[in-house]
Amino acid sequence: MMKNRVLVTGGSGFLGSHLCERLLDMGREVICVDNFFTGSKANILHLLDNPYFEVIRHDITFPLYVEVDEIYNLACPASPIHYQHDPVQTTKTSVHGAINMLGLAKRLRARIFQASTSEVYGDPEVHPQAEGYWGNVNPIGLRSCYDEGKRCAETLFFDYHRQHRLRIKVCRIFNTYGPHMAMDDGRVVSNFVVQALRGEDLTIYGSGEQTRSFCYVSDLVDGMVRFMEDTDDAFIGPMNLGNPDECTIRELAETIIDLTGSASKIRYTPLPSDDPLQRRPDIGLARETLGWKPVVDLRAGLARTIEYFEGVLRSL
């Protein structure tokens, strides 16, 4: 039987590895393309003996010639430490990478999914953020390589759609967490969980009054796949995916201390520049069009994430 062949760029990263696994479970053949900048072999080790899974080490800022039926474009470092390490490369990954993947999709007439981000809303002046909001982004700040790169990628997706009638699905992902997050990537959930498990102080940046809304990875992957599988070619997004349950960073720290039973204390350090004060998705569109909503609550998702990091720390 011929299986549908799916390309996942960034497939060895946090979200990409879960997506590859889900697609294989759905009976697809998966080609994972990754340059292993922030991804790791460990995230996809359990998939390597599957004959329908293939890995290509490749940087998507360079052209790629493969034959596939669908493309999920996730390649891009997502945490500030990593995307600010080489900001020019970050913009290139979003922009040149999008051009190459769109060129590939155009040649193959393949449907293509873009992992965009809530960061396109910048430090939002409206709350919660619905897809119609254009955002409040600093074009020249430290986060701009990521935010503006992703905004330009959205522009490219919509122009390839209008100009070349490409079938696109653009999704704006809000903060997501779970197993396979990199331990050292500085994102708040992995930082706090590892600090709590090691009995170190939890580092809150700023007052801890800033808010985020955290989505567990299985819920997010579910939304991504439902969106891509939706055969209505007029339904292209952009569409928010995330968990609308908002909490302050201080509440997150306290919950993680509670769940780990850690003796860790909280330490306050300065807030990085351009750090958004609040963020919560309006997921009305995903709910109405896909019937999708997150089902894993924060405590349950954190418990699974803590279990994962306990395993990682044991193996060090």
* Cβ neighbours of 163 (radius 10 Å): 9
- Selected catalytic residue, list 146, 160, 177, 216: 146
Q: Two tokens at 96? A: 């040149």
Q: Two tokens at 314? A: 């044991």
Of 53, 61, 102, 301, the residue at the interface with ligand NAD (CB under 6 A) is: 61
Site for ligand UDP in 245-274 (CB under 6 A): 249, 271-272
Site for ligand NAD in 104-143 (CB under 6 A): 115, 117
Contact at 8 Å (CB) between 40 and 14?
no
Strand order in 239-241's β-sheet? 53-57, 29-34, 5-9, 70-73, 111-117, 168-173, 239-241
Contact at 8 Å (CB) between 151 and 120?
yes
CB 145 → ligand NAD: shortest distance, Å? 12
Q: Please state, in angstroms and as integers, the Cα–Cα distance from residue 133 to each residue in 101, 150, 155, 215, following that order.
A: 26, 15, 15, 21
Is there binding between residue 216 and ligand NAD (CB under 6 A)? no
**Would you call 146 a catalytic residue per the annotation?**
yes
Q: Which stretch binds ligand UDP (CB under 6 A): 44-52, 198-206, 221-229, 306-314?
A: 198-206
Q: Which stretch binds ligand NAD (CB under 6 A): 173-181, 226-234, 275-283, 285-293?
A: 173-181
Give the interface size with ligand NAD as a residue count (CB under 6 A): 28
CA-CA-CA-CA dihedral for 148, 151, 155, 158, to nearest 10: 170
Is there binding between residue 138 and ligand UDP (CB under 6 A)? no
Give the interface size with ligand UDP as a residue count (CB under 6 A): 25
The residue ranges that bind ligand UDP (CB under 6 A) are: 63-65, 79-80, 99-100, 103-104, 106-107, 175, 186-188, 191, 203-205, 210, 212, 249, 271-272, 275
- Catalytic positions are 146
